[in-house]
Amino acid sequence: MNQLIDSFGRIHTYLRISVTDRCNLRCTYCMPAEGIALKRKDEILTYEEIYRIAKAFVEMGINKIRLTGGEPLVRKDLEVLVEKLKSLPGLDVLAMTTNAVLLKDKVSILKKLGLNALNISIDSLQKERFKEITLRDDLDNVLEAIDMAVKANFDSLKLNVVIIAHKNDNEILDFIEFVKNKSINVRFIEYMPFKDNQWDASSVYSYAQMKKIIETGYQLAPLPINKGDVAKDFQLVNYPATVSFITSMTDSFCSSCNRLRLMADGSIKSCLFYAPEMNLRDELRSGISDHELKQLFLSVVKQKPEAHPPMEELAKLDNRAMVEIGG
Ligand code: SAM
Ligand code: SF4
């Protein structure tokens, strides 16, 4: 097997697949105010094409796949793809990141089909602020879906919370309160710069600040670091919940990065903050063999940079919008 090893010895075992560039929310930190140039349907990979790429990747050592978007649940019949991917021998974990607006009706089927892990994004527990951040009035739907997801007993259930200075930084303890008695991992994410997402350095609320706030009321005990982990993980002492921090801005984790990204239009991205991509869709449609496909994967991996630049420089990159990349 040709392993996906880059020029710096990092072995890639985790593939994130964005299944659509469309979204039913308009989170101001993710979706540019003027929207994005949406791809035509024929520019988006079909489920068969996604499956073919995923299968080849799994044969090269990918053992975890996460479905993302845009919003993955706005793509029709996502269950069909989940079922197909679950059949891949060698795939240990199939996960999904969702805003949960459409999750209520899908939780049980997704669990039944074998989706292992679910990350739900929610940045405010306050109705008005949720609306201000997402430009939609969907908090109640999301809270109901979280409740159902807790009951469904996924192997892993996480909440993704992007903390933005002066926007929702005063809700950190509310989120801890919300999860503390549940089997949930709450992940506080530092605000990252992407195309037209209103980012500036003063809006970054750092890991150190977040941790300090939590420790005014709770004890955090460090948990062991697993290979490829991008989060700093803690047990909330005396509670079932765990707390993590994604510190991309103040303490990046490039040296242990094991991820690749496939976007909805068939482009592969080797790093969240490295703009060059390789599009596989046209190759796929012009009859490329599996062997040739795998050689293309290897060439993308070989070009992966060692690390991304510091945050002020990231803001100037000509990168895609986050809503297209998928996290
Ligand atoms: N729509 C789905 C959702 O929101 O969960 C999946 C796609 S979304 C792009 C994936 C993750 O990226 C979400 O948890 C979101 O909060 C996070 N995200 C988006 N823009 C971000 C930014 N500028 N900085 C940090 N995280 C961001
Ligand atoms: Fe949509 Fe997710 Fe981006 Fe919000 S974070 S706009 S839900 S893709």
Q: Produce one character per residue of 90-128: b if its CB has 16 or more CB atoms within 10 Å, e if not.
A: ebeebbbbbbbbbbbebbeebbebebbbbbbbbbbbeee
Distance from residue 295's CA to the centre of ligand 2 (Å):
32
Interval between CA 326 and ligand 2 midpoint (Å): 8
Q: Chunk the chain into consecutive blocks of 10 residues (it has 327) and report each block's average pLDDT, rounded to whole numbers.
A: 91 98 96 92 97 98 97 98 97 98 97 97 98 97 98 97 98 98 97 90 96 98 86 97 95 91 96 90 95 96 91 81 90
Backbone angles phi, psi at 38, to 5 degrees: -70, 145
Give the atom of ligand 2 at the shortest distance from the alpha carbon of 162.
5
119 pairs with which residues across the strands?
97, 158
Instruction: Give the position, in ligand 1's atom list, of the atom nearest the Cα of 191.
Output: 24
Helix (H) or strand (E) holding 260: strand 259-262
| Residue among 19, 102, 162 to mutate when testing ligand 1 (max atoms within 8 A of CB) | 162
18 within ligand 2 shell (Cβ under 6 A): no
Per the CB < 8 A criterion, the answer to whether 229 and 254 are in contact is no
For the 14-325 domain, the top CATH level (class) is alpha beta
Query: Would you say the CB of residue 327 lies under 6 angstroms from ligand 1?
Result: yes
Q: Which residue has a Cα nearest atom 10 of ligand 1?
A: 327
Predicted structure pTM score = 0.97
Q: How is the chain split into domains, by residue range?
A: 14-325
Distance from the alpha carbon of residue 98 to the mean position of ligand 2, in angstroms = 8
State the burial class of residue 179 (Cβ atoms within 10 Å of its Cβ: 0-12, 13-18, 19+).
Answer: buried
- pLDDT the model gives residue 1: 62
Please report the pLDDT score of residue 315 as a whole number: 78
Q: Which amino acid is it at 49?
A: E
Secondary structure E strands in 6-100: 14-18, 64-68, 93-98
CA distances from 274 to 148, 174, 243, 296 (A): 37, 35, 29, 17
Distances (CA, A) of 41 to 210, 264, 288: 41, 10, 21
For residue 250, the Cα-to-chain-centroid distance in whole angstroms is: 19
